[in-house]
Amino acid sequence: MSEEVRRMFASISDKYDTANSVLSFGIHHFWRHVTVKMSGASKGQAVLDCATGTGDLAIVFKRVVGSEGYVLGTDFCKEMIEPAPGKAASKNLKIDFEVADAMNLPYKDDRFDISSIAFGIRNVDDPIKALKEMARVVKPGGRVVVLEFGQPKGLLKVPYQFYSKKVMPFIGGLISGNKDAYTYLPETSAIFPAGDKFLALMDQSGAFSKRKARSLTGGIAFVYVGIVK
């Protein structure tokens, strides 16, 4: 499964940013800012962004932790992180990027103040294992933050289902040349255990003393924050 996911992201890596901005109407930028705010990140802190892709969340973190802080973006797909160093440099930000699997992080215990993952946890084979790993590399009292899609309820439910099942594969396919990828992404979002179900996974990981969730844009996405034991 992991190898399939890696290949899929490699195949859309050069069009990923364009497709993201078009398909989300740019709202993912707002979600990332909320995520960083909820992480409680402050100047001088060390942050690990897992499944960083093209580095957008790492960039928002770096602006907050500043030059005295440190941000490392990691992803298991080398093609996805290829544009990231150039993007950071064009914004005068120094961020390191490395290839690493979120389920098996090559970092020592307690190295970071915060670890994060945006739209990546639903793609890993074992989300509890990834949560444990992300908590292991964070100091006790530090935070693990997760931004991930959910399933909106109420008035947004039907239009969002239509959008994600019909419009996303069509437009994502046109932009990236890989319609299957933009069918897979909404399909995995539709079945992902969001909200209270994800909080239960966080509890099962045994890694957090407290955890909370905030729904964004009517439940289209959620931010989860866990305080590391």
Q: Which residues would be at the binding site for ligand SAM (CB under 6 A)? A: 2, 5-6, 9, 50-53, 56-57, 75-77, 80, 101-103, 118-120, 123-124
Give the number of residues written for the chain.
229
44: CB partners within 8 A, 6+ apart: 65, 66, 68, 69
Contact 156, 218 (CB under 8 A): yes
CB of 209 to ligand SAM, least distance (A): 25
Q: Which residues pair with 53 in a beta bridge?
A: none
Q: Are strands 221-228 and 208-216 parallel, antiparallel or unpaired?
A: antiparallel
Q: What is the largest CA-CA distance in the chain?
A: 46
CB of 42 to ligand SAM, least distance (A): 22
Nearer to ligand SAM, 126 or 140 (CB): 126
Identify residue 115 by its one-letter amino acid code.
S
Please identify the residue of the shown chain whose CB is closest to the bound ligand SAM.
53
Nearer to ligand SAM, 142 or 172 (CB): 172
Rounded to whole angstroms, how far apart are CA atoms 82 and 23? 22
Nearer to ligand SAM, 52 or 164 (CB): 52
Nearer to ligand SAM, 43 or 96 (CB): 96
Nearer to ligand SAM, 99 or 158 (CB): 99
Helix (H/G/I), strand (E/B), else coil: 120: coil
CB of 153 to ligand SAM, least distance (A): 23
CB of 113 to ligand SAM, least distance (A): 19
